[in-house]
């Protein structure tokens, strides 16, 4: 979501512009690197652990927001510019919608690996 609808306070060619896009894209590319190069595979247990870790990070961000007046992870308010959060309801209800969306996306990303695992198991049984 951050890549598609960024909230940038400094535009091109400022350092923070590049830093934002590089770091957010590297999150995606790092995951792809570990899947395709190192053959890591997501699991149901990993999904649960990742979801718990996400919520721990959100809790830390919530307290950081209270201490600093910040808006990390958009837990204090929606971004100023238009974003996907505009479709998720008003504050604070969009946070619950984000939780559901995150869990749905985690499951959606796990699904191809579960399907591949079933296909390999089926082929091994028939061989």
Cα separation, 29 vs 20, in Å, equals 14
Give the DSSP H/E element, type plus range, for residue 106. Answer: helix 93-126
What's the rounded mean pLDDT across residues 66-74? 95
Cα separation, 118 vs 122, in Å, equals 6
Helix and strand numbers (H, E) in the chain are 3, 0
pLDDT interval class at 82 (50, 70, 90)? confident
Q: What is the mean pLDDT of the chain?
A: 91
Structure tokens at 101: 């969306």
Specify the pTM. Answer: 0.82
Cα separation, 43 vs 107, in Å, equals 10
* Residue found under tokens 């306070």: 9
């Amino acid at each position: 979501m951050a890549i598609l609808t960024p909230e940038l306070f400094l535009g091109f060619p400022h350092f923070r512009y590049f830093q934002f896009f590089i770091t957010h894209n590297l999150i995606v590319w790092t995951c792809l690197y570990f899947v395709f190069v190192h053959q890591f595979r997501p699991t149901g247990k990993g999904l649960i652990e990742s979801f718990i870790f996400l919520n721990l990070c959100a809790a830390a961000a919530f307290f950081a927001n209270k201490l600093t007046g910040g808006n990390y992870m958009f837990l204090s308010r929606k971004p100023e510019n238009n974003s996907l959060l505009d479709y998720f309801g008003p504050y604070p209800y969009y946070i619950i919608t984000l939780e559901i969306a995150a869990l749905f996306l985690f499951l959606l990303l796990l699904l191809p690996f579960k399907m591949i695992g079933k296909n390999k198991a089926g082929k091994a049984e028939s061989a």
